[in-house]
Amino acid sequence: MTATAVRGHAISFRGDPFLVADALIDIEDALILTEDGIITAFGPWVQFRDRVPDGVDVVHYPDAILCAGFVDTHVHYVQTAIIGAFGAQLIDWLNSYTFKAEQRFADRAHAQAAATVFFDALLANGTTTALAFAAMYPQSVDAFFEESLRRGTRMIGGKVLMDRNAPEPLLDSPQTGYDDSKALIAKWHGRGRNQYAITPRFAPTSSPKQLELAGTLWRESPGTYVHTHVSENLNEISWVRELFPERSGYLDVYDHYGLLGPRTVLAHGVHLTDAERRRVFDAGAAIAHCPTSNLFLGSGLFALGAAKDPAAPLHVGFGTDIGAGTTFSLLTTMNEAYKVAALNSYRLDAVKSFYLATLGGATALALDDKIGSLAVGKEADFIVLDTKATPLLEYRTAHTDSVEELLFVLSIMGDDRAVAATYIAGTPAYLRHAAR
Ligand code: GUN
Ligand code: ZN
């Protein structure tokens, strides 16, 4: 048995703070005990200290917040090399930068090197689970999951499906896309902690036949995900109307082909109508809110308040959407989400932001029984956020009066410098002091 004991100020969630008042668990001096990768005790240090097995050292973080690992519900691992590409909105950005970058993933060695950089960046930012796009090449998926197996992380990913409106080398066909995805599901879904997402890029790059076969494959493959984009950009939405005039709207394209349900994750949804939001709710699908991407590409302001309307609250998680997004940090993502919400007359407090980055993300990925909070029986993926990471952060956090304020300051001023440690399955997978 491998046991780990960590002590410090811990926060977690017992519910959704968008819906209930007492969702936050706040324990100023807590013990997290893990055995063989699973949390076996979590609670006040004074009550639980006797549970630490003989011979197990307690790692104490006195100037920190401990919480569940961050969940990135939408990211492109194959776009790490094009973060910060200048001067374009969505469709031009795809054509000018993205499709070129993704063609390089035909090369297995390139994919492997990129996967290493990507996982290093996730862990250094406290992200322990991600739902990721690979490229269209199966070898780009293999590189992603092999890296995840090596690190012991819980990851979801898949091969992009595109059979039109992209450069020829990136195109599959309805049948080869189906066959390649099916083979990757057999190879990777349920191997280690990995799971597969059927990944039609977005409606414009898939023919009706490809979307139909994607729906067939999803029905044939229990426990897999559907991962795509919806209603990110106004020109994109107009294009979908031209390509699918027989459908009532963008979301209806996916609905028609049987691609909406629990385990469907739709990136963006910036311009969803009330009726479309209602359909996402009824289907049990989830939205990945990607504020840094939406700002960078000038896509628009996501209506978080409407998405989390208590009358029909959607499953929402945060996505970094690297490389349209500009940071791997879920803390920085919280900062930008706060500002996007503010421009939409919604006040996003940090309890809600930390929920979206942890248990909310886990719920969006239908993984809330396994990850997303500190609770007995859950997988022991958790992080240590240093409240004194920089002199300015130390000064500012010294002037806070409540855990809510402390979390808010972390969410506005924090970034990867605040991540002191990232534990995967109870084992330190990233230690800032060792990395520097
Ligand atoms: N829509 C279709 N493909 C993409 C992509 O790679 N990034 C973003 N942000 N939106 C997309
Ligand atoms: Zn994306």
Please give the Cα distance from 179 to 171 (Å, whole number): 14
3-state helix, strand, coil in the chain (%, to 5): 45, 25, 35
The reply to whether ligand 1 has any atom less than 6 angstroms from the CB of 229 is yes
The single-letter code of the amino acid at 362 is A
Ligand 1: atom nearest CA of 76 is 6
The verdict on the CB of residue 266 being under 6 Å from ligand 1 is no
Q: 435 falls in which pLDDT band (50, 70, 90)?
A: confident
CA-based torsion, 370, 374, 377, 379: positive or negative: positive
Cβ(324) – ligand 1 distance below 6 Å: yes
Please identify, by atom number, the ligand 1 atom nearest to the C-alpha of residue 98.
6
Kindly report the CA angle at 171 between 170 and 174, in degrees rounded to 5?
150
Query: For residue 43, what are the CA distances in angstroms to 12, 48, 57, 175, 365?
Result: 11, 6, 17, 52, 26
265-270: average pLDDT:
98
Over range 361-368, report the average pLDDT: 99
Tell me: the pLDDT tens digits for 232-243?
999 999 999 999
Element (H, E) at 341: helix 330-343
Q: What does the pLDDT average to over 367-384?
A: 99
Find the mean pLDDT for residues 301-330: 98
Quote the pLDDT of residue 436: 57
197 with 156: CB under 8 angstroms? yes
- Residue showing tokens 């999803």: 218
Domains of the chain: 3-69+373-435 (2.30.40.10), 70-328 (3.20.20.140)
Substitution site in 89, 95, 98 for ligand 1 pocket (most atoms within 8 Å of beta carbon): 98
* Residue 144: CB atoms within 10 Å: 31
Query: Can you give the pLDDT at residue 1?
Result: 77
Give the position, in ligand 1's atom list, of the atom nearest the Cα of 297. Answer: 9
Picking from 244, 138, 269, the residue whose alpha carbon sits closest to that of residue 199 is 138
Q: Which ligand is nearest to the CA of 98?
A: 1
Q: pLDDT over 70 for what percent of the chain?
A: 100
> How large is the average pLDDT for residues 426-436?
91
Closest approach atom of ligand 1 to CA 293: 9
pLDDT digits (tens, 9 = 90+) for 147-206: 999 999 999 999 999 999 999 999 999 999 999 999 999 999 999 999 999 999 999 999
pLDDT tens string 4-21:
999 999 999 999 999 999
Tokens 């959704």: give the residue.
16
pLDDT in tens, 42-64: 999 999 999 999 999 999 999 99
Q: Does the CB atom of residue 279 touch ligand 1 within 6 A?
A: no
Give me ligand 2 centre to Cα 353, in Å. Answer: 20
Mean pLDDT of all residues in 121-129: 99
Strands (E), 201-280: 225-230, 264-268
What's phi and psi for 181, nearest 5 deg?
Answer: -65, -40
Averaged over 286-290, what is the pLDDT? 99
Cα pseudo-dihedral 204, 209, 215, 221, rounded to 10: -120
Beta carbon of 98 within 6 Å of any ligand 1 atom: yes
pTM for this predicted structure: 0.99
Contacts of residue 216, Cβ cutoff 8 Å, sequence gap at least 6: 178, 258
Of all ligands present, the nearest one to the C-alpha of 82 is 1
348-360 mean pLDDT: 99
Please tell me the number of the ligand nearest to residue 293's CA: 1
Tell me, using a 6 A CB cutoff, whether residue 93 lines ligand 1. no
Whose CA is closest to 45, among 60, 58, 30, 59? 30
Which tokens go with 73?
């519900």
128 Cβ closer than 6 Å to some ligand 1 atom: no
Ligand 1, atom 7, lies closest to the CA of: 324
Write down the mean pLDDT value for the chain. 98
Q: Is the pLDDT of residue 33 over 80?
A: yes
Identify the DSSP state of 320: -
Q: Per-residue pLDDT for 230 more than 90? A: yes
- The answer, yes or no, to whether any atom of ligand 1 lies below 6 A from the CB of 232, is yes
- The SS3 of residue 241 is helix
In angstroms, the CA 226 to CA 263 distance is 6
CB atoms within 10 A of CB 211: 23
Mutate to test the pocket of ligand 1, among 75, 76, 80 (most ligand atoms within 8 A of CB): 76
Among 431, 291, 285, smallest CA distance to 357 is for: 291
Q: For residue 264, is pLDDT > 60?
A: yes
What residue owns the CA closest to ligand 1's atom 11? 229
Can you name the residues that pair with 422 across neighbouring β-strands? 383, 430
pLDDT at 92 over 60: yes
Ligand 1 close to Cβ of residue 271 (< 6 A):
no
Residue 382 Cα to ligand 1 middle (Å):
29
